Each structure stands twice: as C-alpha cells, then as structure tokens.
C-alpha cells in the first residue's frame, strides 16, 4: 500500500486509505452497471473511484456511465485481480460494494479492511474499537493538532506524527485501544493503522473526537 504525503484535514487525493464511519460512502450498488447506465448509483460509483486519481484521473461525477467511467472500472478491476472488462458485473459488484461500504480507496484485497470503527469518549479518556477482515495488529495515532502522514522509505510503511497507542502484538480481528490523560473539552485528531502478519497495511481516513467537559 503506497501512501502519498499529506496534511490531515486538507484535500486528499490519490491515497490508499480506509474511511472511518463519518466519511464512509454510505451508498452501495444494487444492480450491475455498464456503459449507458444512468442514476444516483452511477454517481456514487464515480465519487468512489474519483477519490483515487490513479483509478479515475478525470474525476467527473455525472451520473452517466460512459467511456471514462468504464476505463476507471477497468483500472479498479486490474488492481483487485479481476478481469478488466470495464463494467460492474456479478464478479465486480460484491468487491466494489465491500470497498464502498468500508470506504476503502486504492488498497488491494490483500490489505486488511478496517471497519466498525467507533470511539467512546469522556473528559480525559477515549477508547477506540475497530474490526478487520483478517487477523492484524493495530496502532492508533492521535493529537490535538492535525496529523502529518508521510510515506516512509519502505513503501508499505507510513510515518505519522502525533502520539501513538498500540494494541498488543497478538494478531486478531477485533481491536480495543484506550487513550489516557486527554484534556477535557478538546478536539483530537486520530487515525487507525492495521498491519497483518505479511506486512500488508491499511490506514483509516482521519477523523476527530471531542472530549467532554
């Protein structure tokens, strides 16, 4: 998984990330789509693909499935080990729905998929819970200022600013991390990083939580 340098909170393009619930694309596709299809589901597909310029460099959201959308779907299929037929057929539909539901952009199916992220907050502590589709270990990065995320020298490793709280070294599909000694009535930026035993890595889209008084 390759991650470009960016400042969290600014415009994000071309990054392989996993969305947290507040930013997840809620729509899913309920039918197969091909050139000539029209509708809000086509717009949802285009919006999803446009988040990665390597998939859909034009980034147009028109609600019409034309040649550019077909090319973007072909790019998605190639990345995910599917035949690049350029239409959302019965094999592509469940794969793309899974990634749309979980906001997965630019990652391959070998990367752990992060989902069901939630945060329980009081005045001084926060507990972050999430699940992955495969066994993985995790890290939560957090700070009271926007985080910086920079690709490391190894393309599977990202360097993130801020403080970290790690899960234990055991690989599992459910994670629970407690962040202690927070300031009351403060907004914190955070993201989740999950890595499987083979080093495949997914990083959530940044989000925030606010401690109580």
- Sites in the chain below the pLDDT cut of 50: 1-26, 152-156
Q: What confidence score (pLDDT) does residue 109 get?
A: 56
Q: What is the pTM of this model?
A: 0.54
Q: What confidence score (pLDDT) does residue 24 get?
A: 36
Q: What confidence score (pLDDT) does residue 102 get?
A: 64
The string of DSSP codes covering the chain is -----EETTS---S--BB--GGGS------S-B-TT-BSHHHHHHHHHHHT-TTT-TT----SB--HHHHHHHHHHHHHTTS---SSB-TTHHHHHHHHHHTT-BS--TTSPPEEEEEEEE-SS-EEEEEEEEEEEEEEEEEESS--EEEE-SSTT-EEE-SEEEE--S--EEEEEEEE-SPPTT-EEEEEEEEE-TT--EEEBPPEEEE---
| CA distance readout (Å), 145 to 54, 73, 75, 163, 208 | 30, 37, 36, 11, 10
Q: What confidence score (pLDDT) does residue 60 get?
A: 85
Q: What confidence score (pLDDT) does residue 142 get?
A: 94
Q: What confidence score (pLDDT) does residue 144 get?
A: 95
Domains of the chain by range and CATH?
25-101 (1.10.101.10), 114-210 (2.60.40.10)
Query: 95 — phi, psi (to 5°)?
Result: -70, -45
Query: 193 — phi, psi (to 5°)?
Result: -120, 125
Q: What confidence score (pLDDT) does residue 132 get?
A: 84
**Distance between the two ends of the chain, CA-based, in angstroms?**
39
Q: What confidence score (pLDDT) does residue 32 get?
A: 92
Q: How far is the C-alpha of 128 from the C-alpha of 123, rounded, in Å?
A: 15
């Amino acid at each position: 998984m390759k991650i470009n340098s960016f400042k969290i909170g600014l415009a994000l393009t071309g990054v392989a990330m996993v969305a947290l619930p507040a930013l997840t694309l809620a729509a899913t596709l309920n039918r197969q789509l091909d050139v000539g299809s029209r509708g809000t589901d086509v717009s949802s597909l285009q919006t999803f693909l446009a988040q990665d310029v390597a998939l859909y460099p034009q980034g147009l959201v028109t609600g019409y499935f034309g040649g550019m959308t077909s090319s973007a779907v072909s790019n998605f299929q190639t990345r995910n080990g599917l035949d690049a037929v350029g239409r959302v057929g019965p094999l592509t539909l469940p794969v793309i729905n899974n990634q749309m539901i979980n906001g997965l952009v630019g990652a391959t199916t070998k990367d752990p998929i992060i989902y069901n992220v939630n945060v329980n907050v009081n005045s001084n502590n926060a507990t972050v819970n999430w699940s992955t589709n495969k066994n993985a270990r995790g890290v939560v990065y957090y700070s009271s200022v926007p985080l910086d995320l920079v690709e490391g020298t190894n393309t599977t490793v990202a360097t993130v600013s801020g403080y970290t709280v790690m899960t234990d070294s055991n690989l599992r599909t459910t994670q629970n991390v407690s962040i202690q000694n927070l300031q009351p009535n403060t907004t914190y930026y955070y993201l989740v990083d999950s890595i499987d035993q083979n080093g495949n890595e997914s990083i959530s889209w940044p989000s925030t939580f606010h401690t109580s008084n």
